[in-house]
Amino acid sequence: MAHETEMEAPVCAESHQPASVEGPPLEIEESQQMAEFFGILADPTRLRLISLLSLSESCVCDLAEGLAISESAVSHQLRALRNARLVRYRKSGRQVFYRLHDHHVLSLYETVREHLQE
Amino acid sequence: MAHETEMEAPVCAESHQPASVEGPPLEIEESQQMAEFFGILADPTRLRLISLLSLSESCVCDLAEGLAISESAVSHQLRALRNARLVRYRKSGRQVFYRLHDHHVLSLYETVREHLQE
DNA sequence: CAAATATATGAGCGTATGTTCATGTATTAG
DNA sequence: CTAATACATGAACATACGCTCATATATTTG
């Protein structure tokens, strides 16, 4: 998006890499999927929901009470977690019980917690 | 907000914790720190930078060329990665060479990649 | 010295995101 | 049936974010 009147973009004189390697750079589309996923974890409310769900399966109203926020907010955030396949749910009467989907969630959660405590 | 058909949520016993690694619900302040950190990874450009840096130390202009984006954009994003202690850097003349800070970064990167391939 | 290079950064703009509020859909109680 | 409960969802508003552009700083070169 600039002003390259020459045929090649001016690169550093030193230290270049082979232009197209197989691995990196990460494909744009895959980077967007990963970014979207990390974005799901980039919210205090959703992380606190995950922390509660790491203890036990819970319904929406208990989650709302546990975090002292509205059930609407909880429901909105649970949808995000659902779409990212971070939580599962089962219906029981009027209630819907949520739980963590798999081990990856807690793995990420713990890794970041460790990183921040250095 | 609670109901009587099920037991009360087994959460939030109002006990105070040692502010280190304790159980749910996650403290608001810690949840914000973690969210901020995940937010750093929630961007396609930063993830692609990380993928490049997982290969080798690189200077800003090589990163910009590798991703075909402006050096300004790269520099802005590197600052974010720097503030989150995800990358280190060293100066060499006019150039600044960046590299990944520790193993946590790649660990998170790989975990999410696995998760998305299921 | 001045010019060129390599990077950093503040301002501004367009877009994405999280909340509240109002409403909709199921399910149960009376 | 109607009312109440539990949850989901669309709209709207305020905030946050990433980019471009212009400019600033530092280093090397002539």
Chain A environment of B67 (Cβ under 8 Å): 25
Delimit the domains of chain A by residue range.
31-116
By Cβ distance, the residue of A38, A64, A104 closest to B1 is A64
Neighbour tally for B64: CB within 10 Å: 21
Q: Tell me: the pLDDT tens digits for A31-53?
A: 999 999 999 999 999 999 999 99
Q: Is the pLDDT of residue B103 over 60?
A: yes
The whole-number Å distance from A42's CA to C12's C1' is 26
> Could you tell me the fold of the domain covering A31-116?
Arc Repressor Mutant, subunit A (1.10.10)
Angle made by CA atoms A17, B39, A72, in degrees to the nearest 5: 150
Q: Tell me: the pLDDT tens digits for B49-90?
A: 999 999 999 999 999 999 999 999 999 999 999 999 999 999
Would you tell me which residues have their CB within 7 A of strand D?
A: A 1-2, 59-61, 71-72, 74-76, 78-79, 89, 94-97; B 1, 3, 5, 36, 39, 42-46, 69-70, 72-73, 76-77, 80, 91, 93-94
Residue with token string 């590197």: B78
**Which among B90, B83, B87 has a CA at the least distance from the CA of B109?**
B87
Q: Does domain B32-116 have CATH number 1.10.10.10?
A: yes
By Cβ distance, the residue of B2, B9, B26 closest to A48 is B26
